[in-house]
Structure formats: C-alpha cells, structure tokens
Amino acid sequence: MSITGLHHVTAIAGDAQENVDFYTRVLGMRLVKRSVNQDSPGTYHLFYADDAGTPGTDLTFFPWPALHPARRGHGLSMEVSLAVPPRSLEEYWTGRLRDAGVETGAVEERRGGRVLTLHDPHGLPLGLAETQDAREFTPWPASPVPAERQVMGLHSVRLWERDLPLTARFLTSVLEFTALGEEGGWHAFATPTHERGLSGRFLEIRETPEERRGEWGTGGIHHVAWRVADEAAELELRERIAAAHRRPTAVIDRFWFKSVYFLEPGGVLFELATEGPGFAVDEDPAHLGESLVLPPWLEEKREEIESGLPELR
C-alpha cells in the first residue's frame, strides 16, 4: 500500500500544435490520449508516453497559450527529467536536438548518471537522463526515434522549496520516501520501491528561502502525480495525508485512472493516481490519440467543446 513511483507529470504549454510537433516529431514520444482538461474543458489535455501508455511514462500538457509565462520560485516543480538509454546522449540526442534547432546545456553528472538539459518550445525545463535501470517501457514503432534511443518515461522531478525540513518530514513520515542525501545543493528522496532502481522513483529538492513564490504559467509544471496500485492503496494513503492536515480531495474518477490531489507542505500540487484502467479502456490501442476522446460525462457537450478547440495535425 505504497507509492511505487511517478505516474505522470502535467505541465502547461502554449500553442497546442507546437506542443504536439515537439514531443512527437522531435522527442519521438507517442500522443496516446487527446482529451480535454476535465475541470476546464475549453483546453486540450494531451498525453505523451510510450507505445502502450504505460503509467510512469506519461508527460501531459494543458495548452493555455494566453497564460503568462511561469514565474520561477519556491513551491513549484522546476524540472522534469525523461529517461533515455545508456550512451545515447552524445551518440544520438545532442545531434538530433541540434539538427532540430533545440539549444541544449552541457551534459551534467547527477547521482551517478548523466543528464542533458534543454527547454521545450514554451520554456519547460527538461532533462534527458541516461539510465540502466529496468523500465516498464514499450517502444513506439512509428516514432521518428529508433527504438533503442527512445524516451523510456519519467526519470525524476526537481522542486524548489522555501523550507526543506518541512517538506522532507512529510515525504519521509507520511509518504514513506527515503532520504538519499544532498548532492550539488539538491536533496533527493525516493519512493519505498526505489530498491528496484531509482529511475522514475525519486525527486530532488533545492531549498530556496530567498526566492519569491513561484506561479503557474506556460512553460511551468502544474502538478506531479505519484503512482499507486489501485484504489485501496490510494484510500489508505489518502487517510495518512488527511491525518497530516494536507486536506486531500475526495477520489476523483478521471476515467483512465482515479486521482486524489493535495498540496505538500511547501505548496507543490501532488496527485495520487491509480495504475488502471488505462488509456485503452476507451480506444483501440493501435489508434490511441488519433481523435478527441471525452469522458462519458462530457460527451453531451462534444459539439460545443470541439468548436472551441484548435485543430491538431
């Protein structure tokens, strides 16, 4: 009854077509679900993942082009890293990104691994992290990236916090994460299942008491979702979170998984998300993401919703 790793990370994009082009054509991820923000159905909710839409491989976006750019600061997740195979940064990704006109930073050493940093077209900080850890991953045959070089899913997230001990106590005592220590000013914490490998199972925190409060906007991360096996595990964790006075929501049926949302003590929006039923519950797995899919409770408004959304190629 514990968190097993990252489930998905949701960020805020600008233009929806630019978002699709970058994540499918440049990073080679599959658009596995084309839906809408269920709480604000006037905008898309786009899900990119491996071929099967495996939990832990999802990077998702709300395209809100009229929103101001995200303001860096504490209380936000500041970067998401994506897992790539060993020896693929210099041998493949740096050249591919350069050819696509994407500016990258130098390759960094992080916790025994190597990470290439970049920004997506709307300013979201990304890392491509080489890992040898075993991953639940199904290559996408139609990807422009060869199967042996493809993004394998979420690797980690980085948070800025005003008060590190406050968040650290919550992570270790309530969510049962393990503290892994500090490296280069970043303090790492891993899920209870990190013995299977760190990739997809840890976060890093930098304490930034001098920074102002961050604000959501384009190029920023909206929330970080953690993976749980089923609703029973989710409810047990929800009780612990409520006992810690973090005021979790009730379980919300997102149709492809069930969710509970809460703010960790530093203000970052977290979610618990169940593994199933998964993206194939309402689409043929061979045709995921090819058409607009709405949860049943929004189907009666399909015509109105579709008329307000930009066309996607």
pLDDT digits (tens, 9 = 90+) for 252-271: 999 999 999 999 999 999 99
C-alpha span between 262 and 270 (Å, rounded): 5
At residue 272, the pLDDT reads: 98
> Quick one: 286 exposed, middle or buried, by C-beta within 10 A (0-12, 13-18, 19+)?
exposed
Report DSSP letters for 88-129, one per residue. -IIIIIHHHHHHTT--EEEEEEETTEEEEEEE-TT--EEEEE
Q: Which CATH architecture has domain 6-217+279-307?
A: Roll (3.10)
Beta bridge partners, 93, equal none
- Give the H or E element holding residue 241: helix 231-243
Q: What is the mean pLDDT of residues 232-261?
A: 97
List the structure tokens of 104: 């990258």
- Whole-model pTM: value is 0.97
Q: What is the mean pLDDT of residues 35-40?
A: 96
Q: What is the amino acid identity at position 59?
A: L
Average pLDDT, the chain: 97
The strand pair at 202-207 and 258-263 is best described as: unpaired
At residue 205, the pLDDT reads: 98
**Rg from Cα positions in the chain:** 18
At residue 97, the pLDDT reads: 98
* Contact by Cβ (8 Å): 45, 36: yes
Q: What is the mean pLDDT of residues 211-229?
A: 98
Q: How confident is the model at residue 1 (pLDDT cuts 50, 70, 90)?
A: confident
Give tens-digit pLDDT for 93-145.
Answer: 999 999 999 999 999 999 999 999 999 999 999 999 999 999 999 999 999 99
* Contact by Cβ (8 Å): 150, 28: yes
At residue 114, the pLDDT reads: 98
Give the closest residue to 158 by CA, choosing from 134, 133, 124, 192.
124
Q: Is the pLDDT of residue 55 over 90?
A: yes
Give the closest residue to 215 by CA, choosing from 271, 168, 270, 269.
269
Q: Is the pLDDT of residue 179 over 90?
A: yes
